[in-house]
Amino acid sequence: MKKIVAVTSCPTGIAHTYMASESLEEAAKKMDVQMKVETQGSVGVENELSEQDIKEADAVIIAADTNVSHERFGGKSIVEVAVADAIDDAESLINQALEKAEKGEKTEVKANLQGQVSDEKSKRKAKRSGPYKHLMTGVSFMLPFVVAGGLSIALSFVFGINAAEQEGSLAAALMQIGGSSAFALMVPILAGYIAFSIADRPGIAPGMIGGMLASSIGAGFLGGIIAGFLAGYVTQWLKEHIKLPENLQGLMPVLVLPFLSSLIIGLLMIYLIGPPVEGIMTGLESWLQGMTDANAVLLGLILGAMMAFDMGGPVNKAAYTFSVGLLGSEIYGPMAAVMAAGMTPPLGLALATLLFKNRFTNQEIEAGKPAWFMGISFITEGAIPFAAADPIRVIPSIMTGSAITGALSMLFGVGLKAPHGGIFVLPIPNVVTNLGFYALAIIAGTIVTTFMLRLLKPKLAE
Amino acid sequence: MEVNEFINQNLIKMNLESKDKDSVIKEMIEIMAENEIITDKEEVIKKAMEREEKGTTGVGKGVAIPHVKSDAVKRPAVAFGRSDAGIDYGSMDEKLSHLFFLITVPEESHDEHLKLLAQLSRNLVHDDFRDSLLEAKDAEEVMNILENI
């Protein structure tokens, strides 16, 4: 039996959408064609087409007076008409669609890579549920921000590692795009879409606000994940438990939910998450101060592990600020260890996605490519999407690799005078001492990271 | 949520007087105004006309379903009108329209209202449902038919 999937939609979404849907279903029944119609009306999307439905369909009918996205129908025979046409003569529309499928007329849909990737992703996502699904939703929305931001920053280094300090320069503009815009949005987007996945649209505002606060209190992406889950579940709970009289119900989505949920999440982040985060950071910093005279290799090991632990969170920042602080005292070893350890997480993940494709989702494999550039540019954030998606396995892996890199860098007595820049500092004379050994330390750490990922990450079930 | 919460016999007019599209829309909206469903008649007429410009709501098979989503609407409601002579409503199939459903909903509506309206719309596609409305003798019979959707 032939199968057709259809989408109906009209501007007000009250009547035509459903009449068209009914017409198509009726006609299909008469013609002995299997039909599933997704209605995009005023109550939102109903009877949503699954990946499976679309895959099985011989043809697609879009009967809409609104803009219905084509992306998910790439490679299918599509007949697109006004919604009224489906109401008027569904039968000939179905014939038209089947004819088109018969002739093999495929409609080229310029689905961008992101679209395909997220489709692929959602296929696997469908098999998973609960917190994991929410986390993955957040990560897949965050990913473009990481890539756009990371590559913009890397590009700014091409003009010289300090070029971005020159106000009005292109390098500064790139840094503004990548650093203070894309990367600033990264954690709010992660948190916002985790919450969205849990509580639908009302989750976005408290989630993003919570994520923004996670950033500003220095809690990094782990803080963002906490904010996202908090926001999602709190909003969901509020949605289910606040009962307003019917004539006031209109106030729920516009006033009550966004305000209450954002207030609760905001206060929790500031008063409950904020103080321990700050405590961890200052505690770790003073602990590191006391270690200055300790065994150099041990210090490198610890600094390295810290860099990879939360990538932008309090632990990472403590290690980084400690090392940058030492530059003023002309102690260059820890800086070198820290930068090397910050480069290996994205590099190790990039290598792992290349070598062990069956342990990563398609989206991750694609994200592995820009991760190379972020790695060599010392943009540790390139590893965040991987870590956020599977923290329990990825974080220990990258910590091990970074720790070894840090230790080796210290062992080889490498010194670094610049606080950032990755590979772009290497051509500058006298910035790095023992360059050859430095490269060796980074390569070793990358390989260890990859090896650890191979060990810890299970094969994905197909 | 029951059908009789948004339509009752007062919202049913078995013999529409209008002869053309614009006046039948106004005639139907007048019914809504008389029953205090809407607060601003002119606004609702404007919205209904705007909707028609985007594409006719004369969906063919003798049915037209002008509809309005506006803050000038107090509660979701449906008015039903019939014209035995038929009115040229600029329908898809270029035939005259006999059955008219004016649907009005406030900007913020509950899903359950909208779902019921969706259910009504779905029924309009069926021949026997339309035929029974065409044959109904009075408003009471129309109500009976609608209550059974």
Strands B67-69 and B97-105: parallel
A10 is a catalytic site residue: yes
Q: Name every chain A residue with its beta carbon within 8 A of the beta carbon of B75.
A: none
B123 in contact with chain A, both atoms CB, cutoff 8 A: yes
Contact B55 A26 (CB under 8 A): no
Of the partner residues B65, B110, B126, the one whose CB lies closest to the CB of residue A15: B65
Contact A41 B93 (CB under 8 A): no
Contact A39 B118 (CB under 8 A): yes
pLDDT at site A207: 94
Give the 3-state secondary structure of residue B2.
coil
Give the 3-state secondary structure of residue A32.
coil
Q: Name every chain B residue with its beta carbon within 8 A of the beta carbon of A15.
A: 57, 65, 67, 101, 103, 117-118, 120-121
Residues with Cβ within 8 Å of A312's Cβ and at least 6 positions away in sequence, in order, are A220, A221, A380, A381, A384
Minimal CA–CA distance to A307: which of A184, A164, A179, A445?
A445
Contact A12 B125 (CB under 8 A): no
Mean pLDDT value across chain B:
87
B109 in contact with chain A, both atoms CB, cutoff 8 A: yes
Domain boundaries, chain B: 11-147
Contact A87 B117 (CB under 8 A): no
CA atoms within 13 A on the CB side of A333: 19
Of the partner residues A22, A42, A84, the one whose CB lies closest to the CB of residue B92: A84
> Nearest-CA distance from A95 to chain B in Å?
19
Of the partner residues A14, A26, A88, the one whose CB lies closest to the CB of residue B59: A88
* CATH superfamily for domain B11-147: Mannitol-specific EII; Chain A (3.40.930.10)
DSSP state of A360: S
Give the 3-state secondary structure of residue B105.
strand
- Asked whether the CA dihedral B130, B131, B132, B138 is positive or negative, the reply is positive
Q: What is the pLDDT of residues B22-50, one digit of tens each?
A: 999 999 999 999 999 999 999 999 999 98
Per-residue pLDDT of chain A (462 residues; tens, 9 = 90+): 889 999 998 877 778 888 889 889 988 988 999 999 999 887 778 888 888 888 889 899 998 877 777 778 877 888 888 887 888 788 888 988 888 888 776 654 444 444 444 444 344 434 345 777 788 788 888 888 888 888 888 788 778 777 777 888 888 888 889 888 988 898 999 999 999 888 888 889 999 999 999 988 888 888 888 999 999 999 988 888 887 777 777 777 778 888 999 999 999 999 998 888 888 888 888 888 777 667 888 889 999 999 999 887 788 888 888 888 787 777 888 989 999 999 999 999 999 999 998 888 888 888 888 899 889 888 888 898 899 888 899 999 999 999 999 999 999 988 888 777 788 877 777 778 888 899 999 999 999 999 999 999 888 764
- Asked whether the CA dihedral B123, B127, B129, B134 is positive or negative, the reply is positive
The radius of gyration of chain A's CA atoms, rounded to the nearest angstrom, is 26
We find that the CATH architecture of domain A3-102 is 3-Layer(aba) Sandwich (3.40)
Contact A98, A151 (CB under 8 A): no
> Nearest-CA distance from A38 to chain B in Å?
13
Q: Tell me which of A10, A37, A79, A365 is the catalytic residue.
A: A10
Contact B125 A65 (CB under 8 A): no
To the nearest 10 degrees (0 to 180), the angle between helices B111-124 and B127-135 is 90
Of the partner residues A15, A26, A85, the one whose CB lies closest to the CB of residue B121: A15
Using CA coordinates, name the residue in chain A closest to B120. Answer: A15
Of the partner residues A23, A26, A84, the one whose CB lies closest to the CB of residue B55: A84
Interface test with A, best of B110, B113, B122 (most A CBs within 10 A): B122
Contact B126 A16 (CB under 8 A): no
| CATH 3.40.50.2300 boundaries in chain A | 3-102
ipTM associated with this complex: 0.80
The whole-angstrom separation of Cα A428 and Cα B114 is 67
pLDDT at site B149: 74
**What is the distance between the terminal CA atoms of chain B, rounded to a whole angstrom?**
13
Contact B125 A22 (CB under 8 A): yes
Q: What is the pLDDT of residues B45-89, one digit of tens each?
A: 999 998 888 778 888 888 998 888 888 998 889 999 999 999 999
